[in-house]
Each structure stands twice: as structure tokens, then as C-alpha cells.
Structure 1
Amino acid sequence: MRHYHNPLYVSYGVADETEGLKQALSLARNNGAPLGVLVVCPEFPEEFPDYRKKYEEALVAQAEASIRSTKKAIKQKEGIVDITIELVSDNTPSIKIIQYVLRHGHDLLIKEAELLKGSDSGFKAIDMELLRQCPCAMWLCRPIAHSRQHIQVAVAIDPESMEQAAKALSKRMLELSRSLADSCSGELHIVSCWDYEFESFLRDSIWIKATDAQIAEAVQGTQHKHRTALEGLIKASGISGNCRVHHLRGKAEECIPSFVTDKKIDILVMGTVARTGIPGFIIGNTAENIVQNLSCSLMALKPQGFVSPVKAY
């Protein structure tokens, strides 16, 4: 299944971006889509106007060399993916990138994740700004050690939201993750978290005289309701194939990063915004806490109708 028709890869043109380009070229190939490459750089100093053109040409040349070497590394023949390269310079790169996406109608933004100092999880400020405000899907790449046939794909689903936009987003995430898994190991991990947050209060309160049996029934009822909603979403999505459902008890911001680490997940698909039509409405607290503890590549989707606070011009 082809999901993206106009992907964009963001490059800084100065570092080794082989890992990000591998994932971008592979994804463009799998979707039968051309790949745009946007080289983003700081504004060149006004004191040296004669060198600006050479500076920008050098960055584009570096990007071209990286693309050639990456194609060779993944044994992708010339002509398989049509590639165009463009350069923009600005001292607020996240805004410039989003404006470029809006003006050119890109439906997927691919970028290497920028590592926080001293950590192998979380994302730097520019990545978080893009997650919050970019209108299209985002793929933040981290190194994947496994061969393509062994890459592990997971999708994080919250079946409890009653908003139609959130339900539609969950179905899209399931369809996309199924397609990604089919192009990799073939196994899809579906992870969802539930909890009964009043259990400890009910057990410990001197004011409430609920029996252990009543509390256990309430906990089991919550678990069953959540699992039923999850299975309903999976069925409604129409996906099939090799799926493993992980119904975890606990807070999503704690359980999902631990699950990713324990199961050696390479790519996690998740939604980052659950409401639509509100300019400037940023990533939800739960989603933000999850992504700041992730150590894998992230495919982040927003619901149809999401409005970026950034204007195209």
C-alpha cells in the first residue's frame, strides 16, 4: 500500500546523514514517490557576501555526495527514485522547513533525529518544534542496526478517545504500520496501555468501604472495556497478517518507552495530536512525555484537519 506521494528529506549538508538518507530513499522507493531534499543552513555572514554562493554550492555538493554514497550502500540503482535538491537559509530553521512543506504540499517530512547531549533518547528543540507544528506526517530517523528483513515495527494506539478525528487517526496509524511491517520483518506489534487509576485510592481510603471483590471487578471491567475498544479499532482498520497485541497496564509515557527498549523496536508509529482545527494546539502531554523517552525511529502522524500555526508566507 502506498501512503506518501511527496516526501521531503531535510538535510543540514554538513554531517554524515547516511542513516537518515537510507530510510528516506527506502521509503520513497517503497511508495513509488520522488524524494525532495531540502538543505537547510544558517544565513551566511553579511560581512562576506562574495563567499555566500560558494558556501551554498558546497553544501549542495555535500548533499549530492551523501546521496550517491547512500545509494551505493543500499544497492539502489540510479533512476529508481527521482531526487531534487533545494537549499534555504534561515536562522529559524523549523519555521522555514514548515513553510516549505506548506508551499510545496509535502505529505511526509523525513529528518535525522538530533540526539540530546549525553542521552540516546529524546529529541532536541528543533525536532520537537516540528513535531508540534508541522502539518504533515514526520519520520525522525535513528540508526537501525537490523537488516530490512528483521526490522521491528510497532504502533501505539489509544482506543479510548471519543473524537471521530482520533478514531480515524488510529485507523490510519494501523494501516500505515501494517504496511511498514510488511516491507520489513512482516511482524507488527500493536501496543496499548490501560489503567484503573482509582484502585490504590479505593483500597487505602478510610472513607470508602469497597471490598476487594468490588475493586477487582471494577479493574477487570476497565481492562475489558479498553481491550474491546482496541480490538474494535483493529478490526475496523481492516488490517491482517502477523500482529502481536500488547495490552499493557500502566501509564503510556512509562510503558511505551520501556516496551520499545525491551522488544528492541526499530520504528514506532504514533499520533502526536488528538484534536483538530485549533491553530497552535501543540502535542499532548502524554505524547510529549513518550517521545522524549524514545530511543528508536519515530513515525508521527497528526489527524486530518490539523491546522499548523505557521503560515506558508
Structure 2
Amino acid sequence: MTTTDPAASAATVPARPAPPSRRTPHVGSRGGARAESRTKVTLYVVGGTLATIVFLVPLLWSVLRSFQTNDAIVATTPTLAALRQFTTENFSALFTGDADIVRAVGNSLVVSVGTAVLTAVLATLAGYGFGRFSFRGGTVLFGLIVVTMMVPFQAIITPLYLQMNAMGLTDSRLGLVLFYSTVNLPFGVFVMRNAFESIPSEIEDSARVDGAGTLRSLVSVLRPLLVPGIATTALYAFLASWTEFLGALTFLTDDRLYTLPLSLVNLQAGAYGAVNFGYLVAGAVVAMVPCVILYVALQRFYVAGLASGAVKG
């Protein structure tokens, strides 16, 4: 009769794993995390509120002043009663008087929209070339385009004027569109090149397998994915040309072609050098309206377009 050693049989039985310990989280650490999170939220709210005040107060003050008379604006000691007096006289004088602000707004719209469209088209084509094709000297050429962003156009405005004058493009809205497109094109190429690089090339390869050509792939397949970049390029070009003053002053001499910034400057030349600040502030508010509307409408595309290409993988 064979006997077994209880100690040996116990050694052969696998040990049961110990149950995981259930430790109660420390109350102090949880309270500290909540306090830290509450502090971050408070700082975020306070910072956002201060930034909103800094940006909105000048705009609201301009709108408030545009509905007041010139005497109330230039008063050295403004009273509460004067601030409460509102009138539409400034806007009526702008649109019905001798300021001819309607023509100036039309000229600015033609120039700004033309610049935005031309810059977006050329930047998209150039960005497609730099983002999808590898050719000798491509990196150097793209670097030269980016470097031109660091050169202010005021430094080259004299040779540009001589060139455009030789081509007969001065005193022309078309010449102004070409000038603004040239100035804004480097930024547009930079944005669109990053936009193309953020899109996987397999999407375009699949379109080619289905029989789509280069132009068809660009228009039908890639275009919906490029909307943020295109909107960013067009919005930047529109805002830059809408508010630009020196280029319009240099290339335009016919007052019938004056853009809105030039017309607002002419408002300052009143009788005996007097300036009607009511008209001037009202004109500035008119100039702000398209910028605010476009930026609010395209804000999400603008942010996405600037961030395109920042993260790859």
C-alpha cells in the first residue's frame, strides 16, 4: 500500500492567485484633483472674458459713436445725456451725400472678391503641384515662395508700379486685383500645400483606378476635403485687400475707382481742414461689416485650414 506525502501533494497543486486588492482612493488626492480642475476652469473663463472685452469694446464703442453727432464725439467732456442721443445722420450723409460711399463699397467688393477668387484658384493649383509631385528644385522653389512672405510689399511697390504702368494696368480694378493676388499668393500656396499633404494620397489613387483624371480627381474627390484650406486662403485674401490702403493709393488716381479706405481718407478733408468724425466713424463701421460677417461665417474653416498639415500620421 502506497502512501502519499501530504506536503508533496500540496506542493504540486497550483497556488490560487490572490484577489486584487480594493483600496479606497485617498479622499485628499481626489479633492486636490477637483480643486485643480476648478482652478483651470476659472482661469479659462477669466482669460476668455478678458480677451472678449479687449476685442469687443473697441468695436462696440465705434458702433455707438457712429450713431452720434460730430459735436458729441469731439466734446472734451462728454455727458451722459449726449451719449444717449442717437441719430442716423452720419449714415444718411454717407449714402446720400457727396461722399459717394456706395461706389467705393462697390469698387472694394469687386476688387476684394476678384482677389479672393483668383488667389484661391492659383494657390490651389500651386499647392497641388508642391504637395503631390516631386521634382528637382521643388523644395528650393517652395522655400523661395515662403521667404517672400517675410518681405513687405511696401519695399517693392516702386518696381511693381513701374511694371504695371508699362503694362497699362494702373487706374484699373483689374490691375489692383492682380497686385493684391500677387501679394497674398505666397500665404495661399503655403496653406494649400499643407492642405494637400494632410490628405492621404491613397484617396487620389483610388479615384485614378476608377478612371478619374487629374482634374476630375481635384474637382470631385479632393475639393470637399480642401474646403478649409480654400476658405482660409480666400478669406485671408479678401480681408487683406478689403482693408489695404497704400497699394490702392499708389495704383489709382481716378476717384471713380477709389476703394473704401481711400474714400474714408477723403472724408477727413472737410471745410478748412475740419474733420467730421461722425462720418468717419460711420464709414469705419460700414467697412467692418463684411469683415465681421465673413469671419464669423468661415471661422471654423479658417481655424481648420490654418491647422491642416500640422499633424501627420
Q: TM-score, normalised by structure 2?
A: 0.19
- The answer to which structure has the higher strand fraction is 1
Whose helix proportion is higher, 1 or 2?
2
Higher relative contact order (CA 8 A, sep 6+): 2
Structure with bigger gyration radius: 2
